[in-house]
Chains A and B, each alone.
Chain A
Amino acid sequence: MGILRDKKAYFVFLLPGLLFYLFAVFYPIEESLRLSFMKWGGIGDKVFVGLDNYVQMFRDKVFYTAFFNNLIYLVIVVSMQLLIGLLFAMLLSYMTRGVTLVKTLYYIPCIITTVAVTQLFRSMYATEPVGLINQVLNFVGLKNLTTSWLTNIGTVLAAVSIPEGWRFTGLYMVIFYSALVSLDQGVIESAKLDGANGWKILTKIKLPMIKPVLLLTLTMCLTGALRGFDIPYLLTNGGPGNVSELMSTYMYKKAFSSNQYGYGSTLAVFIIIESVLVIGILRAIFTSKEDREEKHQERIKRKERRREHV
């Protein structure tokens, strides 16, 4: 809490940013909610249709395809980003020289536009001319595994998920690394003195100690994956057919290709509810554990106090 009390200055400083924010973020949310109860093709009058769009959504087969595809996409992206990020951060934490250089290089994919990332992967997946992935498979003698990754319905969903996972492993690596190196060295030293080996220190001390960071990154990663759009849209735009359709690409298609602005908004509202729910659930799990611990501590203290009285 600050100390200045000049009310006029307060609003002069606060309002420009606040109003801009409210207009850019909350006006669209309000409009999306309103549109999700309307039918509108872009011209003519908007017609209020009540819950029709929501009923349509839950009867829409493609909606379910997109929803379950999104779950698979989420699992691939989250596990790549968190597992590889964590593994590499652990490796780096044992490194003594050149850490900054390696970190700097490893992070580069995070700062490259998705359009470029997509082009890179498109040429790696290509069959004509033979792309890097198929070349490597040929080279190691797994010729029967080569395929047209983006048109094969068995591989396309994984093929659009992997670039997104690849792109952000560097970000999570940096977060995990800074968490790992800022751990209290005293605890680790005393564990060493007690005869704990490297593996035990890692699994029993270091990882439990960075648990808050793990939960935080999980939240971030999940909400990021729920909004995944650029790479799937650019690589296949949901195709072939709807095999690699995600929630956001489907929403985009409905709104801007079929001009169903009402139904598109319904899908957008669903994406928002999904993200807020995921964050809410994770926070609930996270805080309830802390709360439980706090209550436990309080109980112990109360008991101690009682004992002192006796």
Chain B
Amino acid sequence: MYKNKIGKIIFWAAILCFLAIQVYPILWLFLASIKPATELAAAPFSLPRSATLENFAKVIGDGKIGLYMWNSIKVTGVSLFLIVFLSATSAYALSKFAFRISKKIYALFTFGIMIPVQITLIPLFIFYSDLHVLNTSLSLILPQVGFALPLSVMLFVSFYEFIPGELIEAAIVDGCSSYGIFWRIILPLARNTVITVASMYSILIWNDFIFANTFISENAAKTVAMGLKDYVGAFGNVDWGATYAAIALSILPPLIVYFALNKWVTAGMTMGATKG
């Protein structure tokens, strides 16, 4: 019994230790963002003795973060709509129609999972500068959607496989067209897959850095993840408090999505993992 108790203590200590390594830095970030500047300089890693919203006021006050957030919302919103719409329809064609070519096209989609996004940077940069669409939200949406399609098509196809053929046959007998079957039967049933895909990609797209850093250089079009780079040094390198406040603000939306929908987010991400 005694031995068991010690074992239990060690077990819990190990769990808490792992958890602390993973969570403490983020907790600390939020704490640091509400610390007054003097305290942050003197004792950066202790608990705040007095809280202040000064840092947030400063960051919101200069207006840039609002603009960056708006840009991120635009890019994320349009991309999500396209990802869900394009993959739900393509997956429907691939899994519910009796054409043999579907197998090859599906393989083509899955091939995309292997492709590193870096390959697109140079060609798309040249393409965009020829078309004068660098520094627009459009330049981010194209690669975001393109690279999301392989996995989201796979997620939709694997869900559609569960929808029994009898259901579709019955709909055909009732005089429903291929379009009607999609809108009235398939898509409403796929609600969970839609939520999975949308919640996962809202986080991934909101967080994207590499595309934004390559295709966006003007302040007017910067997304939040990229705009954060501004805050480092912009306040004369001394004002870490404002930097942390900006970071805290920018990671808040993904955190909210995650805590509200975490079952779907992790389901999507781990599915993506085990399918790749």
Q: Contact residues of A with B, CB < 8 Å?
A: 1-7, 9-14, 16-18, 20-21, 23-25, 27-29, 31-32, 35, 84, 88, 91-92, 94-95, 102-116, 119-120, 123-124, 129, 132, 135, 166, 169-172, 174-175, 178, 213, 216-217, 219-220, 223, 226-227, 229-230, 234, 248, 251-252, 255-256, 261, 264-265, 268-269, 271-272, 275-276, 279
Contacts and interface: CB of A to CB of B under 8 A. Distances in A.
B247 A14 contact: no
B145 A123 contact: no
Q: What are the 4 tightest A-B residue pairs by CB atom distance, in nearest-first order?
A: A24-B146, A17-B90, A31-B123, A14-B93
Contacts of A6: 97, 177-178
A116 B206 CA distance: 12
A119 B160 CA distance: 42
A213 B276 CA distance: 11
A131 to B, nearest CB: 8
Contact of A279 (B97, B114, B142, B210): B114
A2 B22 CA distance: 45
Nearest to A87: B18
B274 A108 contact: no
Interface stretch (B52-60, B190-198, B264-272): B264-272
A35 B122 contact: yes
Contacts of B102: 1-2
B75 interface: no
Contact of A227 (B28, B118, B169, B214): B118
Interface in B76-96: 82, 85-87, 89-96
Interface in B138-155: 142-143, 145-147, 149-150, 153
Contacts of B108: 18
Most buried by B among A1, A13, A178: A13
Contacts of A272: 115-116, 119
A10 B93 contact: yes
B78 to A, nearest CB: 13
Most buried by B among A112, A113, A169, A227: A113
Given A1-B98, A113-B225, A123-B240, A169 B22 contact: yes
A25 B147 contact: yes
Contact of A20 (B93, B94, B119, B146): B146
Most buried by B among A4, A220, A251: A4
Contacts of B274: 175, 213, 216-217
Contact of A113 (B127, B145, B182, B228): B228
Interface in B169-218: 169, 172, 177-179, 181-182, 203, 206-207, 209-210, 214
8 contacts: A3-B165, A6-B178, A11-B93, A119-B228, A216-B276, A227-B118, A268-B119, A275-B116
Contacts of A107: 258, 262, 266
Contacts of B127: 31
Nearest to A4: B97
Given A5-B97, A6-B178, A20-B145, A109 B114 contact: no
A114 B172 CA distance: 49
Contacts of B235: none
Interface residues of B, number: 96
A31 B114 CA distance: 18
Nearest to A131: B44
B136 interface: no
Contacts of A12: 179
Contact of B266 (A135, A174, A248, A252): A174
Given A94-B11, A115-B209, A171-B270, A251 B118 contact: yes
Contact of B251 (A25, A105, A112): A112
Interface in B107-140: 108-109, 112, 114-127
Contacts of A106: 18-19, 22-23
B87 A25 contact: no
A115 B229 contact: yes
Contact of B99 (A10, A35, A88, A120): A10
Contacts of B181: 4
B214 A256 contact: yes
A171 B273 contact: yes
Contacts of B123: 27-28, 31-32, 35, 265
Contacts of B177: 6, 9
Contacts of A5: 97-98
A34 B68 CA distance: 35
B234 interface: no
B261 to A, nearest CB: 11
B254 interface: yes
A10 B86 CA distance: 13
A232 to B, nearest CB: 12
Contacts of A18: 90, 105, 108-109
B126 A261 contact: yes
Contacts of B124: 28
A172 B96 CA distance: 33
Given A174-B269, A275-B115, 16 more contacts: A1-B102, A2-B96, A2-B102, A17-B86, A17-B89, A17-B91, A21-B109, A21-B149, A88-B18, A103-B266, A105-B22, A106-B19, A120-B25, A174-B270, A220-B273, A255-B125
Nearest to A29: B119
